[in-house]
Amino acid sequence: MKKRTELSLTQKAMQALSDAVAKVVQEHQRRGRPLAVWRDGKAVWVSATEAAALRETPIPYRTKSHGPKS
């Protein structure tokens, strides 16, 4: 029998956030509406066609180690 690996709360939150962003981008593309994005420290509008080329790179988050303390 395979052991189930459970996601941490942080991993679940990051997955939910990624899914929500993808859904919003798809909806804006479908309707042809521009998206507000953060660039060089400023909020800017990008067209729906430009948004199609955007790919978000996830930021690696540190989580607490649950191993033995030294």
Query: 5: which DSSP letter?
Result: P
CA distances 1 to 4, 5, 6, 39, 41, Å, are 9, 13, 16, 48, 50
The secondary structure element, H or E, covering residue 3 is: none
Answering whether pTM is above 0.85, one says no
Q: pLDDT tens across 20-60, in order?
A: 988 988 899 899 999 998 889 999 999 877 876 766 555 56
18, 21, 17, 45: which is closest to 33 by C-alpha? 45
CA-to-CA distance for 21 and 16, rounded, in angstroms? 9
